[in-house]
């Protein structure tokens, strides 16, 4: 097991991401944030907390999204679902999807399917902590990337205990 | 996490973990049902046949809606309008349907054990939607879900099941489930409608006194008199039954506390429940129906065929 980002680096990266997000959306008007269960929801919480610290006068809506019922591999393995909590409308909003690791792109594809069952956003952007760029199976890329890493196909990259670790496959 | 069983034949052979998994999955499906688009693609590649050898409105609609909300393909079968009326056996009918590549069977039958029989002969996953006087597992699951939602939990909850216990598959499934989840159960009704050794066999308390039972319980699950399953006279008249075991406003108001009223439907108004009880704010009868769809979605989702 190798540590890709230790706790200090992780929080520095979160601050960088928050800075990028603020720069591109100065007023946060019509912008909502959605973290993808489970890792993305934890990360999203941190990013939104940082944004709220930097902009105490702004309301920054944040929800969690679970893709379990939209997975394309359901016939292989039945997975118990996580909590969904999108308590605001996404119709005509700019939705910033947040995930911890961008790998094949399948999760993001499913997350977009979920999102569109809640309404029709004006725009969707993707913010990820770690990009495993060379393994993409769909034409999906992130608008905000914390760090890009080279990994093997069978490796696992996870956000655990405030560290990003690589478990070799 | 997976269910310990391939079929849902009854609550009897489920574990406590199975029940908890179904109820927690149902909570997520209840959220799906509040969305603008009340549908998920989970069972897009699954075909389900609803085999109803016995009349049903609520359960059949509820299953059908659950299947559609999961994006499954469905076909419906009613015994009265099919080859069963021409003398085809149950097994032949089902094998014919399965040869058209059906993955799951939801079945209601007037013979107790019919889905168990079927499960030994066919490869598809079977969901029991009520078999004779044996079990009605999805009703017990949605009742438990509704009790949990209304009162916060099942452990230690005092639940009274009132009425025709003898002929009720709802009562039997509820008793199995509530016992497994640590609730306390009392059955109440006229002696002729309560099986003699039920205390020993199923571990419930028995009462013949409605007022005492209502004073004791947190939740009263009131059942219908199943005249269609009674082949002898077990009480003198519906009017007399109603006087001794019917729940009316006056009786509820005279209790020291506010209890929750449930009923699996269909209600015989004026017999087991008066209208001003059935339609009161203490009654969660319509929430039960609403929760039924989410619970059945959870059952179908968790039983959907796996490749390996």
Instruction: Compare CB distances from B305 to A68, A75, A82 and report the shortest one's residue.
Output: A75
Beta bridge partners of A22: none
Note whether B281 and B297 are same-domain residues. no
Mutate to test the interface with B, among A37, A65, A69 (most CBs of B within 10 A): A69
Residue B8 lies in a domain: no
User: What residues contact B55, with CB distance under 8 A and at least 6 apart?
Assistant: none
Distance between A146 CA and the closest CA of chain B, angstroms: 31
User: What residues contact B92, with CB distance under 8 A and at least 6 apart?
Assistant: none
Residue B194 lies in a domain: yes
Note whether B108 and B152 are same-domain residues. no
Note whether B146 and B233 are same-domain residues. yes
Residue B87 DSSP SS3: coil
**Overall domain count for chain B:** 2
Question: Where in the sequence is the domain holding A105, given as residue range(s)?
Answer: 2-167
Residue B129 lies in a domain: yes
Is residue B175 over pLDDT 70? Answer: yes
Closest A-chain CA to B22: A80
Instruction: Compare CB distances from A80 to B25, B40, B43 and report the shortest one's residue.
Output: B25
Note whether B86 and B161 are same-domain residues. no
Going by C-alpha positions, the residue among B128, B145, B170, B151 that lies closest to residue B30 is B145
Residue B71 C-alpha from the chain's centroid? 23
Degrees (nearest 5) of the Cα angle B121, B115, B170? 165
Write the pLDDT tens digit of every residue in B20-76.
999 999 999 999 999 888 999 999 989 999 999 998 889 999 999 999 999 999 999
Note whether B163 and B242 are same-domain residues. yes
Other Cβ atoms less than 10 A from the Cβ of A152: the count is: 12
Beta-strand pair A163-167/A156-160: antiparallel
Distance between A126 CA and the closest CA of chain B, angstroms: 23
Per-residue confidence (pLDDT) for residue B100, from 0 to 100: 86
Note whether B174 and B273 are same-domain residues. yes
CATH number at residue B23: 3.40.50.1370
**Overall domain count for chain A:** 1
User: What residues contact B101, with CB distance under 8 A and at least 6 apart?
Assistant: B47
Note whether B121 and B169 are same-domain residues. no
Question: Where in the sequence is the domain holding B215, given as residue range(s)?
Answer: 137-286
- B interface with A, Cβ–Cβ < 8 A, is 1-2, 21, 24-25, 28, 31-32, 35-37, 39-43, 45, 301-302, 304-308
Note whether B270 and B197 are same-domain residues. yes
To the nearest whole number, what is the mean pLDDT of chain B? Answer: 93
Whether B42 and A74 lie within 8 Å, measured CB to CB:
yes
CATH number at residue A163: 3.40.50.2020
ipTM of the complex: 0.78
Model confidence at B77, in pLDDT bands (50, 70, 90)?
Answer: confident
Residue B257 lies in a domain: yes
Write the pLDDT tens digit of every residue in B120-149.
998 899 999 999 999 999 999 999 999 999
Residue B308 lies in a domain: no
Model confidence at B305, in pLDDT bands (50, 70, 90)?
Answer: low
Note whether B184 and B230 are same-domain residues. yes
Note whether B153 and B278 are same-domain residues. yes
Within 44-103 of A, beta carbons closer than 8 Å to B belong to 66, 68-71, 74-78, 80-84
Degrees (nearest 5) of the Cα angle B43, B47, B48? 100
Global pTM value: 0.89
Residue B3 lies in a domain: no
């Amino acid at each position: 097991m190798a540590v890709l980002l230790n706790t200090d680096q992780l929080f520095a990266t979160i601050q960088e991401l928050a800075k990028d997000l603020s720069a591109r959306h100065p007023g946060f008007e019509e912008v909502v944030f959605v973290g993808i269960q489970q890792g993305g929801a934890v990360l999203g919480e941190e990013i939104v907390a940082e944004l709220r610290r930097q902009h105490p006068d702004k309301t920054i809506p944040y929800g969690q999204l679970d893709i379990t019922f939209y997975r394309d591999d359901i016939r292989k393995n039945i997975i118990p679902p996580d909590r969904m909590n999108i308590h605001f409308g996404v119709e005509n909003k700019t939705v910033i999807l947040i995930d911890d690791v961008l790998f094949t792109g399948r999760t993001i594809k499913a997350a977009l399917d979920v999102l569109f069952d809640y309404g029709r956003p004006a725009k969707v952007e993707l913010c990820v902590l770690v990009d495993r760029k060379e393994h993409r199976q769909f034409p999906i890329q992130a608008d905000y990337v914390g760090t890009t890493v080279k990994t093997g196909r069978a490796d696992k990259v996870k956000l655990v205990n405030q560290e990003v670790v690589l478990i070799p496959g | 996490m997976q269910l310990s069983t391939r079929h849902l034949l009854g609550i009897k052979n489920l574990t406590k973990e199975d029940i908890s998994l179904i109820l927690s999955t149902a909570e997520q499906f209840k959220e799906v049902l509040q969305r603008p688009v009340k549908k998920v693609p989970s069972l897009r590649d699954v075909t389900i046949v609803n085999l109803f050898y016995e009349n049903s409105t609520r359960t059949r609609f509820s299953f059908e809606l659950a299947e559609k909300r999961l994006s499954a393909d469905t076909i419906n079968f009613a015994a009265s309008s099919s080859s069963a009326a021409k003398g085809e056996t149950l097994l032949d009918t089902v094998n014919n349907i399965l040869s058209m590549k059906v993955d799951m069977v939801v079945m209601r039958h007037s013979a107790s054990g019919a889905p168990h029989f079927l499960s030994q002969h066919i490869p598809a996953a079977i969901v029991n939607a009520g078999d004779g006087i044996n079990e009605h597992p999805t009703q017990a699951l949605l009742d438990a879900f509704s009790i949990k939602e209304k009162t916060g939990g099942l452990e230690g909850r005092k639940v009274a099941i009132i009425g025709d216990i003898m002929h009720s598959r709802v009562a039997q499934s509820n008793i199995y489930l509530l016992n497994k989840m640590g609730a306390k159960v009392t059955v109440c009704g006229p002696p002729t409608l309560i099986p003699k050794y039920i205390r020993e066999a199923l571990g419930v308390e028995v009462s013949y006194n409605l007022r005492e039972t209502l004073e004791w319980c947190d939740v009263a699950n009131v059942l219908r008199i199943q005249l269609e399953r009674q082949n002898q006279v077990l009480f003198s008249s519906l009017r007399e039954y109603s006087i001794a075991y019917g729940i009316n406003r006056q009786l509820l108001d005279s209790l020291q506390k506010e209890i929750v009223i449930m009923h699996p439907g269909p209600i015989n108004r004026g017999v087991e429940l008066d209208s001003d009880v059935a339609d009161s704010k203490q009654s969660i009868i319509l929430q039960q129906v609403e929760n039924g769809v989410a619970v059945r979605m959870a059952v179908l989702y968790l039983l959907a065929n796996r490749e390996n």
